[in-house]
Each structure stands twice: as structure tokens, then as C-alpha cells.
Amino acid sequence: MIDGHIHADTRPYEDFEKMAISGINAAISCAHDPLKMSTSAVIFDHFDRLVNNDRERAAKNGLTLYFALGIHPRSISSDFEKVLHKLPKILKNERVVAIGEIGLETTSPKEIDVFIQQLRIADDLKAKVIVHTPRTNKKEVTEITKNILLENIEPKRVLIDHVDFTIVDSLIDEQFTLGLTVQPLKMSPKDAFILLNDYGLEKFVLNSDMSSSPSDPLSVPKTVHELRMNGFDEKDIQLVSETNAAKFFNIS
Ligand SMILES: [Zn+2]
């Protein structure tokens, strides 16, 4: 199994062991806002911790980490241009499989500017992106996010994350890959089953988005179990729990 979206830097060593024991062999750890990201130096230190320390902490437990690095909408530093400038070089690391997580939180002009600039970099480099959708004003912000995406990047290179019942109808007919975050305050394994049963499994990637908020490192295996108990066949389960993510991120 692959967990398509985690924040490894916020989690204890033991979580990686639990994940590996339950059959997760890889995860994508995304850049976010673990500190007040006041300067680019803090953002670069955050990236460095992920690709070195956290990669090693996970590897020691048998879990392979890949990374999505970029400027999260809640971590736009005053000198964010320095980060944009270095992104092409950062993406050359073979474990960095996407720019992310990026997107909009409040839709301020600055957020929109930083988001579009990152999409253009991704489009130029033919890189993938992981796009966040917020908890607050989710539907409205997702509409704006979707329109910006359609204008600035090939949809096949986009994974829109934290998709739920409120936004799935607006996204399902586009060519995006869709992330389903199974998390205590967002969506239960049962909710994920209901959504996948209604919308099919072809476009979805399961993830825990485990962070310092309430989360469960076993979200993906628990959802797999729920799908199995509800009679989904193993081939379909394989799609949402591994193959779709492996194909999108080009990892084996
Ligand atoms: Zn996240």
C-alpha cells in the first residue's frame, strides 16, 4: 500500500513501524507549515529535514518516503521568490516526486500569485503537483482553485487533495487525480467506502494526511479493510491503495 499524503516531520518514529507492519511500503510526505515560515531559510530547513532526517527515520522502519515540496498557502515567507527560484533544482532529487502541497487557503492575492507561479514552474518542468483544499469555505475555495488549475497546468499532472462529498461533483469529470483523506475529523473509512462506491475507484488515491492534528497512521489499511468487508474486489482495492498513486507519482 501507498499512503499518498502524510507529514512525516510531525510524527513519532513508532508510527512508521506501525505503517510498515500493516502493509504500507511507501508514503508521500508533503511540505506544509510546521513553524511560522517567516523566511525562506526556515522553508529550506523544513525541506532538508524531510528529505534527510524523516526519510531515514522511516527507512529504518521499512517505509520508503517520497516527497512533495513547495510553498504551502499557510507558509508564504516574505522572501518566497527565493524558494520558487530553487524549486527546479529541488525537483531533481529522485525522491521529490511533486511540487506540494500547494494551493489556496483564503484566496488572498498573494496566495493566488504564489500558487500560479508554482503551477507554471510545474507545467514547464512537466512535474506533478499536490493541491490542498481547505476546511473553511471548502466549496468556494475549491471552485477558484479548479479554475486556476485549468488555466495554468495540464490537469493530468494534478492531484487535488482532501476531496469530500461537498466538492467531488465539481471535480469528478475533469482529468485530475483525486486524493481522499481518511482522518478522524474529516472522513471515516465508512465515508470513504460510500464515496468510492458512488464515484468509482479509477481516479482516487487514499491518504491519511497524518499531521499534528487528530490523525491515524493506519487510515489507508483501515479503509482497505472497510472496502474488503463491503465486498470490493482485490483488484479495485489495489487501485485506490497503491496502483493509482504509483502511476501518478511514477514510483514502483
Ligand atoms: Zn497535508
For the chain, what are the domain ranges?
Answer: 2-249
Kindly state the average pLDDT of the residues 73-81.
96
pLDDT surpasses 90 at 218 = yes
Q: What is the pLDDT of residue 242?
A: 98
pLDDT at position 185 is 86
pLDDT at 252 over 90: no
Interval 217-245 mean pLDDT: 97
Is the pLDDT assigned to residue 130 strictly greater than 80? Answer: yes
Strand order in the sheet with 129-132: 2-6, 26-30, 64-68, 96-103, 129-132, 158-160, 177-181, 204-207
CA–centroid distance, residue 142 to ligand 1 (Å): 15
Give residue 134 CA to ligand 1 midpoint distance, Å. Answer: 10
pLDDT in tens, 18-76: 999 999 999 999 999 999 999 999 999 999 999 999 999 999 999 999 999 999 999 99
What spacing in Å lies between the alpha carbon of 214 and ligand 1's midpoint?
12
Q: What is the pLDDT of residue 164?
A: 97
Q: What is the pLDDT of residue 55?
A: 98
Q: Render pLDDT for 136-145 as a digit per residue (tens, 0 to 9).
A: 999 999 999 9
Distance 17 CA to ligand 1 centre (A): 20
Distance 181 CA to ligand 1 centre (A): 9
Residue 102 CB coordination number (10 Å): 27
Tell how far the Cα of 7 is from the centroid of ligand 1, in angstroms. 6
What percentage of the chain has pLDDT greater than the value 70? 100
The rounded Å distance from CA 192 to ligand 1 centre is: 17
Phi, psi of 218 (to 5 degrees): -100, 20
Separation between Cα atoms, residue 164 and residue 180, nearest integer Å: 7
Is the predicted pLDDT of residue 149 greater than 80, yes or no? yes
**Separation of CA 32 and ligand 1 centre (Å):** 7
d(CA 6, CA 63) in angstroms, rounded, equals: 12
**How far apart are the CA of 176 and the centre of ligand 1, in A?**
18
**CA of residue 211 to ligand 1 center, whole Å:** 7
Domain made up of 2-249: CATH architecture: Alpha-Beta Barrel (3.20)
Residue 207 Cα to ligand 1 midpoint, Å, equals 10
**Span 110-121, average pLDDT:** 98
